[in-house]
Amino acid sequence: MTVETKPSLRRSRKNRILGGVCGGFAEFFGISAFWFRLAFFIAFLPGGVPGIGLYLLALLVIPAEKN
């Protein structure tokens, strides 16, 4: 019997533009990073604080992917 383990949330090293946060979310949830980048962009539009703040918080809290 095989036990499947869900991958842990990590910042992506191969699917990154800035810090790998969106790529990490995409790999964790199994969808395209485009949707997370779009969500952060939309959160950035009303003044910038929500999008930038959430991204920086995720950058600090989510550990980087290991080699």
pTM of the entire structure?
0.79
User: What are the structural domain ranges in the chain?
Assistant: 1-67
> 23: pLDDT confidence band, cut at 50, 70 and 90?
very high
* 41-61 per-position pLDDT tens digit: 888 887 777 778 888 899 999
Residue 5: strand pairing partners: none
Query: Taking the mean position of all CA atoms in its chain, how far away is CA 53?
Result: 13
Amino acid, single-letter form, for residue 47: G
CA pair distance 33, 52, nearest whole angstrom: 17
Which residues are within 8 A (CB) of 21 and not within 5 positions of it... i.e. 6 or more apart?
Answer: 11, 36, 40, 55, 58, 59, 62
